[in-house]
Amino acid sequence: MGRFKRLLSLVAALGLLAAAFSAVPGLLPAAEASSHREAPLISADPLADNTDVYAFVSPDRANTVTILANFIPFEEPAGGPNFFKFDDNVLYQIRFDNNGDAAVDLVLEFRFRTVVGNGDTFLYNGDFDNNGEGTINNLSDPDFNVKQFMDVQARIRQGSSFTTFTLGTNLPTPPVNIGPRSTPNYETNLAEPAISTVPTGAGDIKLFAGQRDEGFYIDVGSIFDLVGLRPFNSAHLAPLPTSNGVDGTAGYNVHTIAIQVPTQLLTATGQLPTGASDPNAIIGVYSTASRPSTRVLNTNGTQTQTGNCAAGQGIPGADASCVQVSRLANPLFNELFIPMGTSPTVSENDKDLYNAQLPATDINRIDFVRGTAGRPVEPVKLINQLYPPVLDAPTSGRNDLVRVFLTGVPGATRPPVQNDPADPGAGPGAVPSDLMRLNVAVPATAPGSVNRLGVIAGDLGGYPNGRRVGDDTVDITLRVAAGVLLPGNACAGGTASCNQAPNNQLGDGVTQNDKPFRTTFPYLATPWSGYENPFHGRECSNTPDAPCPTPSPTPRP
């Protein structure tokens, strides 16, 4: 863990602790966000629900890595007057493993504190008692009535213990995007000033937490209707007319925690990797949310939460009363590969158990991903059964899926830690664990050359080498499940290559987000406002004279 000691010495040597790590609102320099409802218990706790993790080499800032952790699925932008926000009682974390052993080496912790300026009004914004006009023009505007502030700590492994230091306190977060009267010029006035900069001797760290547009695009309404893929409707076992995909998350927002870190602060050596083949170039990332174990609802309308969430699970000193309720790395992993848990052969409520455990326990889930003769890989089995024209992919022995999700892809994201006895040809890999693995030495793909299908389309800067905003993880996962990474004639009972039509064309018909992404940190697009959201019928009457707009059709390749 030499690079973390080096970070501490760099910061201390430059005398930046007092100036940068005890920031208050307005004093920090300003700089110019998949899985949704994935398990039964967390579906009832949206403020603690991880939705997506992104990890990628920053395309506009060399030698830095950006990580985005999204929470709160399907945020309706018009959901006032008590708009969505981070939960003050939740410990949000981004965790890193930089040597492939599935144990945490660095934890970034984010805690939030809500401050209500005027408790004598129902308004989220508006200081009318003091002749305010209700418009939030800046982060310190008195009309900004319900503010949230963020504290950020880093916990760094040093041998068998962890050292803790503060990255920032009372960092500002922006309001939600309400509409043109309440939050005009949202990005310029409110979102960008909420980007905090923490100087270090290795380069600046950037931090942001706040509302963003939901960047995960998927025809969720059709996919969970018996794996419906609208462009392939006529090929389904229950056929329907073929049509374009519909982005089911269009018009919704999420809450994003974003951090941009100099690359060398994340590697095991504390140095920039020598190249993509350097084993120290590979990092693993996941996010978690934890709650105090006891909540008491009081008769006076308040609630009390009891438990020590001073340190999260897997950290020395963690208290059993702090319970991890959600974790996430690869998109769709818990939804598609982890069973409910009512079978006598599976731990009870395994989807919920997954959320409560650490990645090292995923060795116990490896057969859900690889498949055996007695337990086929369920999403592969469903594709084979529901789409007769598809060349049936193997439902067992799927080492390709294990590599993508659990141990790393050879030559790209595979740390040389231990061998997988069932996959001897791959060479040593990571301890099996669901982590978003990123080779930080693979440069960001040049603008104009980015392919939404990432590695399977020859764009090595994309998923499953990390995940960028814009990567079409739905189509990638469908095609990988259909066997496009398998060598030789692995499909149709061993008689045909899987990497041909229709297997390598599968997709939900949604190939882009509902609005363009930013080209700079935090990259996810401006959140929709409740007033201006065209997808949920806010600006139309659905009559012939004023028809409601619908998402633009997006043709599949």
Q: Which residues contact 236 (CB under 8 A, 6 or more apart)?
A: 226, 228, 229, 386, 387
pLDDT of residue 551: 45
For residue 50, give both structure tokens: 């991880």
Name residue 330's amino acid: N
Residue holding tokens 């599949």? 556
pLDDT of residue 550: 52
Tens digit of each residue's pLDDT, the chain (557 residues): 454 444 444 443 333 322 332 333 333 333 323 556 766 677 888 999 999 999 999 999 999 999 999 999 999 999 999 999 999 999 999 999 999 999 999 999 999 999 999 999 999 998 887 777 899 999 999 999 999 999 999 999 888 888 998 999 999 999 999 999 999 999 999 999 999 999 988 999 999 999 999 999 999 999 999 999 999 999 999 999 999 999 999 999 999 999 999 999 999 999 999 999 999 999 999 999 999 888 787 888 877 877 778 776 677 777 778 889 999 999 999 989 998 887 777 776 788 889 999 999 999 999 999 999 999 999 999 999 999 999 999 999 999 999 999 999 999 999 999 999 999 999 999 999 999 999 999 999 999 999 999 999 999 999 999 999 999 999 999 999 999 999 999 999 999 999 999 999 999 999 999 999 999 999 999 999 999 888 876 444 444 444 445 544 444 33
Handedness of CA 412, 415, 416, 422 (dihedral sign): negative
| Secondary structure of residue 302 in the 3-state scheme | coil
Q: Is the pTM of this model over 0.85?
A: yes
C-alpha 178/C-alpha 156 separation (Å) is 38
Handedness of CA 59, 65, 71, 73 (dihedral sign): positive
C-alpha 177/C-alpha 144 separation (Å) is 12
Residue among 205, 267, 188, 251 nearest 538 (CA): 251
Task: Determine contact, residues 95/285, Cβ cutoff 8 Å.
Answer: yes
pLDDT of residue 35: 56
In sequence order, what E strands does 181-338 have? Answer: 196-198, 205-213, 253-262, 282-292, 294-297, 303-306, 322-328
